[in-house]
Structure formats: C-alpha cells, structure tokens
C-alpha cells in the first residue's frame, strides 16, 4: 500500500488535473476486510485514499492463489532434499 500511495502522490503532484484513484484488489471479502476494518491498515488506507475492491475469481484461481501464498509463507520451514535445496526448487 505504501508504494501505491507514493506513486499516487507523485502523479497528483506532477499532474494536478489528473484524477488518481487507488485500489487494492482482493480475491475475497475476508481479505478485503483488512482495509475495511478498524486496524492500522484500515487507517492507512483511508489516509492514503486507497480503496479495497473484491473481484470474482474461479475456484481454480482461488486455489492457485492459496497455494502460491502457502509457498511464500516464510514462517514455514522448507523441506530440503539431500543437496540442501528446497524441494520446490529440486
């Protein structure tokens, strides 16, 4: 969100007549509620004029996104093969 806010700010300064709208797009309402709730992310979204949008995706795409997110979760310990490389890279 910070990068989006920075780009929007630069565009507004550089092109004063340009209408700049900023959106973060989510695959489901639960995820979008991070920006629509009462937490710090919601306050930041309001301050930076960033709006949450939810788009409809097929179940296959939602599953693929979930799998990609699980693979990117740095809190999980990767299983390594005998070369020391994570299995995903083997």
The region that residue 71 occupies, defined by phi over 0 for left and psi between -120 and 50 for alpha, beta otherwise, is alpha
How many separate helices (H) and strands (E) can be counted in the chain? 4, 2
Any domain includes 47: yes
Any domain includes 80: no
- The DSSP element (H or E) to which 39 belongs, if any, is none
For the segment 38-70, what is each residue's pLDDT rounded down to a tens digit? 899 999 999 999 999 999 999 999 899 889 988
Token output for 1: 């969100």
Any domain includes 65: yes
Cβ burial of 2 (10 Å; 0-12, 13-18, 19+) is exposed
Domain that holds residue 65: 23-75
Task: Provide the number of structural domains found in the chain.
Answer: 1
Specify the pTM.
0.65
Any domain includes 13: no
From CA 26, how far away is CA 68, in angstroms rounded?
15
């Amino acid at each position: 969100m910070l990068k989006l806010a920075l780009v929007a700010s630069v565009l507004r300064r550089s092109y004063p007549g340009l209408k700049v709208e900023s959106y973060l797009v989510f695959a489901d309402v639960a995820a979008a509620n991070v920006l629509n709730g009462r937490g710090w992310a919601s306050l930041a979204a309001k301050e930076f004029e960033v709006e949450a949008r939810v788009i409809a995706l097929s179940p296959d795409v939602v599953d693929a996104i979930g799998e990609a997110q699980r693979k990117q979760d740095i809190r999980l310990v990767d299983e390594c093969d005998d070369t020391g490389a994570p299995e995903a890279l083997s």
